[in-house]
Each structure stands twice: as C-alpha cells, then as structure tokens.
Amino acid sequence: MKKMFRAAIERMAPYTPGEQPAPGQRLIKLNTNENPYPPSPQVRTAIVKAAGASLRLYPPPRADALVNAAARVYRISRDMILAGNGSDELLAMLFRATLARGDKVAYALPTYSLYDTLAAIQEASVAAVPLGAGFTQPLEALAGQRAALTIVCNPNSPCGSLAAPAALDKLARQLQGRLLVIDEAYVDFAASHSLPLLKRHQNVVVLRSFSKSFSLAGLRVGLCFAQRPVIEQLLKVKDSYNLNRLAVTAAAAALEDIGWMRRNVERIKVVRATTESRLRQMGFEVPPSQANFVLARIQGQDMGAVAGGLRRRGILVRHFPKSVFRDALRISIGTPAEMAVLFRTLEGLIRPMAGIDGNIAMAGRVRNRVRQRQPPRDPGLARRAGRARDALSKTIKANEPLKPSV
Ligand SMILES: Cc1ncc(COP(=O)(O)O)c(C=O)c1O
C-alpha cells in the first residue's frame, strides 16, 4: 500500500506536551510553567470589546495593534517585529525557513524539546551539545558547530540557567552569517535580556512569549524581534492570518498594562527564592533559576515515581523520563498556598523513600556540604546517607489512591 505520509513523519516521535487537566478537575498545576495569577483586567475588557461584528472579518495579517504596542513598549521599530500564534509558531517558522533536509541545527541538551520535533519535521541534522558544568549553556561548543541555525533557550528549560548578554554577543559574532535564535520565553523572570543585541547583529532573532509572564498561555501569542531582512524572509512562511482578532487586541492590552505583568513577576520571584531554599533543605540539588520554575534533582534517582505520587495526590509537576534529568522534577512556581501544599506532599513522599535511619534530605545535605567544600560534620553520616540513597529506589511507595490536596 502506498504510504500516505513522508517517511520522516512516520518515523518521528510526536511532541508530548505537559498534562492539561480536564474541565472541572481540581489539580495544583505546576507542570507547564503557566502563571498562577490572572492576566491584566484590561485584557478581558479588550476581548469583550473585540468580540463583536468585526469577527466577520479576517484579522490584520501583521497583527498591527499588537506590533504597534510592542514597538512602543520595547522601543524597537515596527518592521523588526513579527507576531506569532505563540512563540511555538515562530519557532516553527524559523525551522521551516532555514532548514532543508540534512541542514544542521545546534542547541544545548537538555533544552526545550520542541526543537527536536521541529528538526525531525525538517529532517534536519541535530547537533545537541551537552550543558556545561553547573548547567551552563555550552556557547563555545555551539559556536564550533557552525550550524545553519543555532538556538539558545535563555533562561534554559528545564534548569533555569541564564547566559549573559556579553556571552551571547560573542556567540552572535562567532556565528556571523548564520542565524542565532535566542528563545526568551522566560526572560521576564531573569536578570538580563538580549534585545540590545538586535542593533549590532543581523543574524540575531529574539523570541518572546505571552504565555508565562503575561499569564496568557490560553491566548497563544508570541513575538519575534530581528532586523528587517530576517523578518522579511519569515513573512514568506507565515500563515496569512496567523493571529486571531481577539488575541491581537488582548495581547496589545496586556502590553499597555505591563506594570500588571511586572508585579506578578516580582511575586513569583519571591516564591521562587523560598522554593529553592525549601527544596534544598529537603535534600534536592536545585540550580539557581532565572525562570518561573525550578529543577529539583537527586542525582541518580529516577523521579518518575515521585512525579506519579504527586499526581495521585492532585499535584502536577514535570518529569522527563527520557532525559538526562530523569532524576529531577521541573516544578513551576505557583502561589504561596500551592507551594505549601507541594512541600508538604513532597516531604511526605520522599521521607519514607529513604528508609534506614534518616531521610533523603540527609544525603542531600551531605552532598550540599561537599559542594560547598565543607567536610560532613560526622563521617558516619556520609556512610548512612549513602545507604539511605541506595534504599531510595527500593522503597518508593507511590501507589496510594488520589487524595485531592486543595
Ligand atoms: C523555552 C520555550 N520556548 C517557547 C515556548 C512556547 O511558548 P508559547 O506558549 O509562546 O508557544 C515554551 C513553552 O513552554 C518554552 O518552554
């Protein structure tokens, strides 16, 4: 029988998005880095106003109201801005426009796994460069790949690490004539961003998302910033009317009330700091995050059962079973109340795991002291911590029935 699809499509694995609860399902949702706070009230007003007779008409092809608002807020000329149906659509456009079969795309490993899916669709050749020590972006190694398309997810998912603008400036110079995409989906939670690079480099593209800091994941809006010649090529692969009328007007309203977003970001950063220290106290290794999530890791211990245990208790976090970080959980920052439930539940899950005469926190605390170049206070503690760690995988008990936590 004749095949109906390209061999590459039949071969490839689909992208697996994080679980979205069914309507009415009460779960604490810390798995897809949405914002726990609602969007600006001005967004609703704008949507209600736009939801009238004008819906008869196609939307403006270049999402003018949104692009104009972005030009004002970010002080960037309108012809350097392209709006997308989520930054995912902008990524898809970039892959489509730059990569033919066999062309090389380079990015760090692990990073946002949609890049793999988009590369597979294009039949591109992937240079996946492992992260450096301390979860740093392997920028020198990425430059060395001389790929047609290089992507730096900054801050990176799932570890939250941030490459400095000066380092990205150098990478853009090294890649001259080849496109460097800086995926800044989480950058509003970070200490620096890369928009200033646009003036200096013809090959830099910066992507932003409204799904995280602006609390608008349901709206599907992203922005692409680049010099005009890049935008002109991308326009050729864009769907004619890629954003709907409601999304254009609502995202413009969110930008006009950018203070609302910034206040929410500050609240999330406060909770992020307490989350990091609380998880470290429990014994997790937690790299400092510049995003609205944290990575909580216990090296060598598959966290699938813990993620399953949390799920059964009504808490969704992200576990990546096929990644080098299968020994970690990626936890989105929720409200203080949601995080309190998470801490309580997580503690309840990992304490019985450790068995023997202590808990997994002991193993983690020993490791954290070693990292800080301090010997364990009690040499016997290191031995016991090792035994606790060994017992961990044997004693995972995550099969209790679901108890909704809130
Ligand atoms: C690194 C990264 N880039 C892009 C996106 C996609 O964002 P959007 O919702 O704007 O399509 C995500 C979503 O989780 C992400 O993690």
Q: What is the CATH number of the domain that holds 245?
A: 3.40.640.10
Q: Which atom of ligand 1 is nearest to the CA of 89?
A: 11
Residue nearest to atom 16 of ligand 1 (CA): 112
List, for residues 297-333, the tens digit of each pLDDT value.
999 999 999 999 999 999 999 999 999 999 999 999 9
The answer as to whether 133 is a domain residue is yes
Q: Please determine, for residue 139, whether its predicted confidence score (pLDDT) is greater than 90.
A: yes
Mutation test residue for ligand 1: of 32, 82, 88, 330, the one with most atoms within 8 Å of CB: 88
Q: What is the three-class DSSP state of 140?
A: helix
Residues 274 and 177 in one domain: no
The residue type of 74 is Y
Mutation test residue for ligand 1: of 114, 182, 216, 320, the one with most atoms within 8 Å of CB: 114
- Position 1 confidence tier, pLDDT thresholds 50, 70, 90: low
Distance CA 353, CA 394 (A): 8
Residue nearest to atom 12 of ligand 1 (CA): 185
Give the residue-averaged pLDDT of 16-30.
92
Of 257, 276, 306, the position where a domain reaches its end is 257
List the domain range (segments joined by +) for residue 181.
39-257
Q: 376 CB contacts (<8 Å, ≥6 apart)?
A: 366, 369, 370, 382, 385
Give the residue-averaged pLDDT of 335-358.
83
List, for residues 81-117, the tens digit of each pLDDT value.
999 999 999 999 999 999 999 999 999 999 999 999 9
Residues 162 and 211 in one domain: yes
Residues 234 and 286 in one domain: no
List, for residues 64-87, the tens digit of each pLDDT value.
999 999 999 999 999 999 999 999
Residues 228 and 243 in one domain: yes
Residues 271 and 243 in one domain: no
Residues 265 and 252 in one domain: no
Of 209, 233, 257, the position where a domain reaches its end is 257
Distance CA 112, CA 25 (A): 27
Distances (CA, A) of 306 to 32, 288, 326, 343, 359: 17, 22, 11, 13, 15
The answer as to whether 11 is a domain residue is no
Ligand 1 centroid–CA 391 distance in Å is 37
The answer as to whether 13 is a domain residue is no
The answer as to whether 7 is a domain residue is no
How large is the angle between the packed helices 87-98 and 114-122, nearest 10 degrees?
Answer: 30
- Determine the pLDDT at residue 401: 33
Token pair 């060598």 is at which residue? 300
Residues 200 and 277 in one domain: no
Select from 113, 290, 85, 76 the least CA-distant residue to 204.
76
- Determine the pLDDT at residue 386: 53
Distance CA 176, CA 7 (A): 34
- Determine the pLDDT at residue 326: 95
The pTM of the whole model exceeds 0.75? yes
Residues 253 and 311 in one domain: no
DSSP state of 188: G
- Determine the pLDDT at residue 256: 98
Q: Rounded to 5, what percent of the chain is helix, strand, coil?
A: 45, 15, 40
- Determine the pLDDT at residue 11: 95
Extended strands (E) in 270-374: 293-297, 315-317, 328-332
List, for residues 387-400, the tens digit of each pLDDT value.
545 544 443 333 33
Three-state secondary structure along 40-99?
Answer: CHHHHHHHHHHCCHHHHCCCCCCCHHHHHHHHHHHCCCHHHEEEECCHHHHHHHHHHHHC
Residues 377 and 297 in one domain: yes
Ligand 1 centroid–CA 181 distance in Å is 13
The answer as to whether 195 is a domain residue is yes
Residues 109 and 235 in one domain: yes
Q: How many domains does the chain have?
A: 2
Ligand 1 centroid–CA 100 distance in Å is 23
- Determine the pLDDT at residue 379: 53
Mutation test residue for ligand 1: of 34, 82, 112, 292, the one with most atoms within 8 Å of CB: 112
Q: Which atom of ligand 1 is nearest to the CA of 156?
A: 1
53-67, 250-264, 348-362, 370-384: lowest mean pLDDT where? 370-384
Q: 324 CB contacts (<8 Å, ≥6 apart)?
A: 109, 110, 130
List, for residues 207-263, the tens digit of each pLDDT value.
999 999 999 999 999 999 999 999 999 999 999 999 999 999 999 999 999 999 999
- Determine the pLDDT at residue 109: 96
- What percent of the chain is predicted at pLDDT more than 90? 83
- Determine the pLDDT at residue 351: 80
Distance CA 283, CA 365 (A): 5
Ligand 1 centroid–CA 396 distance in Å is 32
- Position 3 confidence tier, pLDDT thresholds 50, 70, 90: confident
User: What residues flank ligand 1, with Cβ below 6 Å?
Assistant: 33, 86-88, 112, 153, 157, 183, 185, 209, 211, 217, 222
Of 257, 273, 290, the position where a domain reaches its end is 257
- Determine the pLDDT at residue 362: 55
Q: What is the CATH number of the domain that holds 308?
A: 3.90.1150.10
The answer as to whether 14 is a domain residue is no
Mutation test residue for ligand 1: of 20, 211, 214, the one with most atoms within 8 Å of CB: 211
CB of 124 within 8 A of CB of 166?
no
- Position 366 confidence tier, pLDDT thresholds 50, 70, 90: low
- Determine the pLDDT at residue 365: 59
Distance CA 142, CA 178 (A): 12
CB atoms under 10 Å from CB of 339, counted, come to 22
- Position 2 confidence tier, pLDDT thresholds 50, 70, 90: confident
Ligand 1 centroid–CA 114 distance in Å is 9
The answer as to whether 15 is a domain residue is no
The answer as to whether 358 is a domain residue is yes
CB of 287 within 8 A of CB of 136?
no
Ligand 1 centroid–CA 87 distance in Å is 6
Residues 191 and 204 in one domain: yes
| CA 44 distance to own-chain centroid | 26
The residues facing 205 across adjacent strands are 181
Residues 94 and 235 in one domain: yes
Q: Which atom of ligand 1 is nearest to the CA of 111?
A: 1
